[in-house]
Amino acid sequence: MPGPFVSALAAIPWPTILKQAPALLAAADALIARSGRRPVAPTAETNIETLRQRVADLEAQQQSYADLVRQLADQLGAITVAAEASSVRVRQCFVLAAAAVGLGLLACFLVWLRWT
């Protein structure tokens, strides 16, 4: 019977996480690349247009960030479900182990009574 750690690792949806990992990394890289840009100092004529463009860029970054956070939250939710299932399994194993120890002690006691 596998241990609780093996059960927990088996319950994690690894194919989903590994399938989404490249998309998450690409989104994170895109966010880092966009946030590292330094805009050129605007002139008086293009000030409003530059501000509009920066606001549009910020909105796009916010949307990308929200999508990335949603994907991370979905994966964290899947890991949480797997951890809860593993926790239930560990509790069941603990109860079975305690019962087995109790039966073993009872058997030792009965053997001791028979020999005395």
Residue 40: pLDDT band with limits 50, 70, 90: low
> Which residues 6+ apart lie within 8 Å of 40 measured at CB?
none
Domain extent, residue 59, equals: 4-91
Q: Which helix (H) or strand (E) holds 40?
A: none
Rounded (5°) CA angle 80-92-88: 10
Q: Is residue 103 part of a domain?
A: no
Q: Comparing C-alpha atoms, which of 14, 4, 2, 31 is closest to residue 86?
A: 4
Say whether 113 sits in a helix, a strand or coil. helix
Kindly state whether residue 75 falls inside one of the protein's structural domains: yes
Q: Is pLDDT at 18 greater than 90 in this prediction?
A: no
Q: For the whole model, what pTM was predicted?
A: 0.47
Total domains present in the chain: 1
Inform me whether the pLDDT recorded for 52 exceeds 80: yes
Of the spans 15-29, 43-57, 64-78, which averages the highest pLDDT?
Answer: 64-78
